[in-house]
Amino acid sequence: MRRYKAEFIEFLVGAGVLTFGDFTTRSGRQTPYFINTGNYRTGGQLARLGEFYARAINEHWGRDFDNLYGPAYKGIPLAVAAGIALNAEHGHNVTVTYNRKEAKDHGERGGIIGHRYDGSERVVIIEDVITAGTSLRETMGILAENGNPQVAGVIVSVDRMERGRDSLSALEEIKAEFNFPVRAIVNVREIIVHLHNHPIKDKVYINDDMKQRMEEYLREYGVEII
């Protein structure tokens, strides 16, 4: 596992974004872990988060893109933070774009803020997590109506590696539907491997019992690993 991935996993735990216990997903599944990206609350956390996104983006796309798109609302600070980190740490000064939920008819009109697309761009869409793909499909419609740039791919923070209605995960369904790569900084199996009996500030978050519960959950709801 790359070092930044291990650091990101520990960052998730330290920020209270990744927690363990008994939770119920929107789909009604009983899950032993939960990811709440709304728990990023400080400027320092957002800056660090942007650095992790930037490292993953640089690893997967290098210089083969020139714009970050952050869907409103959660994607906006992610795109800004990652854009700053890409410039500061990797010397890649990309443009940043995001959308409004409601278009304005005065001042800066329209629904797109930041760089305006002309169709020549290669865009990386930045999201927190993708569960059903609904928001991503909405994003594709927005981009098509606003310059129709080429999408180089999508980056999310964590891949839960769960099946949707069929044998594919939400990320795999998007890849199959739109024919571009969908990457994650880490996936849940990497989280299990790194945190199992590995103390973070003297606390073990995934002991043998929690590891068993998470593996049972993935056997029931997870995608098949080929």
The CA distance from 175 to 28, in Å, is 25
- The one catalytic residue among 104, 194, 196, 211: 104
18, β-bridge pairs: 35
Three-class secondary structure assignment of the chain = CCHHHHHHHHHHHHCCCEEEEEEECCCCCEEEEEECHHHCCCHHHHHHHHHHHHHHHHHHHCCCCCEEEECCCCHHHHHHHHHHHHHHHHCCCCEEEEEEEEEECCCCCEEEEECCCCCCCEEEEECCCCCCCHHHHHHHHHHHHCCCCEEEEEEEEEECCEECCCCCEHHHHHHHHHCCCEEEEEEHHHHHHHHECCCECCECCECHHHHHHHHHHHHHHECCCC
Q: Which of 101, 106, 201, 203 is catalytic?
A: 106
Q: Is 104 a catalytic residue?
A: yes
Active site residues: 104, 106
